[in-house]
Amino acid sequence: MANTTSAKKATRKIARRTIVNKSRRTQMRGAVRTVEEAIKSGDRNAALEAMKRAEPELMQAAQRNIIHKNNASRKVSRLTHAIAKLAK
């Protein structure tokens, strides 16, 4: 347990940030899930529309250190590749 006032404040701050980060992570995962579902259903237009929403979500999550930037780039790349395969 935190003893000093600064440690207690840090604990409160971490708790507030955790709530915000969980919300952002959930929002990001939901956006990615909609893209994956559109790809699975084979609907290229729906996948492209969902990707327009998901890519900024992923990149913002990377900027805010919710996920690593390489992780975000890899997810965008893989989803884009999967959408491109639908065209064939």
DSSP the chain: ---SHHHHHHHHHHHHHHHHHHHHHHHHHHHHHHHHHHHHHT-HHHHHHHHHHHHHHHHHHHHTTSS-HHHHHHHHHHHHHHHHHHH-
**pLDDT tens-digit map of 12-46:** 999 999 999 999 999 999 999 999 999 999 999 99
Residue 1 in this model has a pLDDT that exceeds 90: no
Range of the domain at 76: 5-87
The number of domains in the chain is 1
CATH number for the domain that contains residue 11: 1.20.58.110
What pLDDT was estimated at residue 67?
Answer: 96
Q: What is the pTM of this model?
A: 0.84
Distance from C-alpha of 64 to C-alpha of 60, rounded to nearest angstrom: 6
What pLDDT was estimated at residue 81?
Answer: 97
